[in-house]
Amino acid sequence: MICSRVHQCSAMPRNHGCSRMGKLFAYVQSSSMKSSTCMAPLLYADIVHPPPSPVRVSRMRAVLLETAGPALHLRDAVLPDPQPAPDEALLRVTSCGFSHHDALIMEGALRRGVTLPRVLGHEVAGVVCGVGDGVPTRLIGTEAVVMPGDIGHRRDGGFAEMLSAPVASLVPLPQGMAATGGALLASPIGVALRALEACGVAGGETLVVTGASGGVGAHAAQAAHAMGASVIGITGSPEKAQRLEGEPWLDAVLLDDEPWEEVVAALTGDMGADAALDTTGTSLGRLVAAMRQGGRIALVGQTSPDAAPFAPAEAIFRELTLVGSLGVERRHVERALSLVAGGQVTPLVHEELPLSVESVTCAYRAVKRREVLGRVVLRP
């Protein structure tokens, strides 16, 4: 492994001779011979030497989730830097988003594939500072965003100073972007683009987005607007609605506690919306009622069983398509990078906080109170 943060001291003294013999001999004076000097051979292995100097492994700060649920316990930890395996890279984390997904793991609602203790955080950007076997050293110094995969689930994530990740999961970034919203390119922006692809939204169509102030919803709305779609955003509070008013990527902002499906009908000449993204998991039944004939709904959020029931006849008579959308692929991240570089999508950073248990707790509370517009970003 080649890494700029791991240094190895000399562990063995140099061999200054006898290399052809394969053994180093030392000679000592025999104490049994008083009248003459006799030199007896002594193997190098028999000599007592100081212990070899240890390999100095750097250590990093991290926020470690030890238990989830009612007995939630986070702690500020100092851990050894992760060591990149073959075909992996070591990154110095520059930014990491805190998502609703992290909040669900912390409260114990999302357990599939999660092992504890764990460093959370799957929305990560950083700078390559080391590589494992099989990885060219020219990658060192590259800024990159990490496609999530099992980051923050089965392996430690970005609530830390350092992160190891497969090289195949890295998407290079322009210089400086890793520290200025680059962490959001794969998730939530790439996730939003995949969801838009799943529901097939196109220019000239009307799209309804629930959770329009959240990470996936707000960036999906921006991208759909860039495609030429009309976007109706649904949000949960007057404060958020006020913050969204005037955004050029939203044609209308409606409150969740109002009969917004009726307003959607009115705004579309009683035809209904062409497509919808449910990013909150609480509005499926209402979205079904807001769709036109042949409408498409992409399910992205953690769907609540209480919100899922709807009259199946509605879906049949409207000939609706319901599709789930999960995760992100490289092409979506590359498209996200293009949209951000072109100014068509702006990564929405609600607040930047220094890496600590206090900051993670603050971000968690803000997400649960639905105060966040976009993402809270942690900076080591």
Q: Where in the chain is the domain with CATH 3.90.180.10?
A: 60-181+347-379, 188-324
Residues 89-116, mean pLDDT to the nearest whole number: 94
Per-residue pLDDT band at 120 (split at 50, 70, 90): very high
Length of the chain as a residue count: 380
Tell me the one-letter amino acid at 156.
D
pLDDT at 132 over 50: yes
**285/266 Cα distance (integer angstroms):** 18
Mean pLDDT of the chain: 87
**303/103 Cα distance (integer angstroms):** 15
Supply the pLDDT for residue 316: 93
Bridge partners of residue 86, in order along the sequence: none
Supply the pLDDT for residue 111: 87
- E-state strands within 150-236: 162-166, 170-172, 206-210, 230-235
Supply the pLDDT for residue 255: 97
Bridge partners of residue 126, in order along the sequence: 93, 144
Tell me the one-letter amino acid at 310.
F
How is residue 205 written in tokens? 């169509």
Per-residue pLDDT band at 33 (split at 50, 70, 90): very low
Looking up tokens 């991208």 gives 223
Tens digits of residue pLDDT in 34-87:
333 333 333 333 334 344 444 445 999 999 999 999 999 999 999 999 999 999
pLDDT at 7 over 80: no
Supply the pLDDT for residue 303: 65
**77/63 Cα distance (integer angstroms):** 6
**CA nearest 207: which of 282, 264, 286?**
264
Supply the pLDDT for residue 307: 61
Supply the pLDDT for residue 73: 97
Q: Which residue has the higher pLDDT, 250 or 284?
A: 250
**190/173 Cα distance (integer angstroms):** 14
Residues 204-222, mean pLDDT to the nearest whole number: 98
Q: Which residue has the higher pLDDT, 34 or 175?
A: 175
pLDDT at 26 over 80: no
Let me know if 8 is exposed, middle or buried by CB neighbors in 10 A (0-12, 13-18, 19+): exposed
Q: Which residue has the higher pLDDT, 23 or 245?
A: 245
CATH 3.40.50.300 is the classification of domain 188-324? no
Let me know if 291 is exposed, middle or buried by CB neighbors in 10 A (0-12, 13-18, 19+): buried
Supply the pLDDT for residue 3: 55
Superfamily classification of domain 60-181+347-379? Medium-chain alcohol dehydrogenases, catalytic domain (3.90.180.10)
